[in-house]
Amino acid sequence: MQKSYSEATDNELVELSIKNPNAFEELVLRYQSRLFYYIKRISYFEDEDIEDIVQEIFIKIYRSLNIFDGDLSFSTWAYQISRNATIDAIRRKQVRPQTARLEEDDMIKIFKSNIDIRSELELKEHLREIKLIINDLPYKYKEVMILRFLEERSYEEIMDIVQKPKGTVAALIARGRKILIKEAEKRNLLISQG
């Protein structure tokens, strides 16, 4: 008896999708919302534009199923394609990132993952300052921190997605963390020592 599509692994679905387009629907269901929120976090597009980008991504993925490298997880491959499509869309629109599109909980999660901070309740009172700090964070740091702390990707997956060596990824995260800490100290958002 053959497994249903919902029981198949991502890589099994890739193989099935090459023969039967209906199997691809399951991959779309699994990843559509994840990729939407990932793009929303790393870009500055409105929801309608993001939906268009996601649609383009799935068309690109479907057309490239035959060249999928099984050494990568499908998830990593989909994020890599999404990142590249988002960068291309930014270039096409000639949009320079200006303000974070992160949800309140996302901003707090990035802070809590990197800094010994006050309680979450106190942080919510300082949300405006947190948003300013994250907005001012250079894109190259923001991108890897979003992948690590919000998308919960491993260093290896981040390396594959941003196509940079592990040492570079680690350095970007460490530098981004330093900037967050320095700015949080300036704004008195850290727990007082003593």
- pLDDT grade for 119, boundaries at 50, 70 and 90: low
CA nearest neighbour of 30 among 85, 80, 102, 78 = 78
CA nearest neighbour of 178 among 138, 128, 120, 148 = 138
Q: What is the mean pLDDT of residues 111-126?
A: 65
The secondary structure of residue 97, as a DSSP letter, is P
Of 9-13, 57-61, 180-184, the poorest mean pLDDT is in 180-184
Tens digit of pLDDT for each residue in 120-138?
666 667 777 877 788 788 8
Tens digit of pLDDT for each residue in 54-100?
999 999 999 999 999 888 899 999 999 999 999 999 888 875 555 55
Q: Beta partners for 117?
A: 190
133: amino acid identity, one letter: I
Query: Phi then psi for 45, rounded to 5 degrees?
Result: -85, 155
Gap between the Cα atoms of 136 and 154, Å rounded:
25
pTM of the model: 0.76
Class of 104-186 in CATH: mainly alpha
Q: Domain map of the chain by residue range?
A: 5-93, 104-186
Which tops the pLDDT comparison, 38 or 6? 38
Gap between the Cα atoms of 158 and 149, Å rounded:
11
CA nearest neighbour of 41 among 112, 102, 86 = 102
* Residue 192 clears pLDDT 50, i.e. is over it: no
Class of 5-93 in CATH: mainly alpha
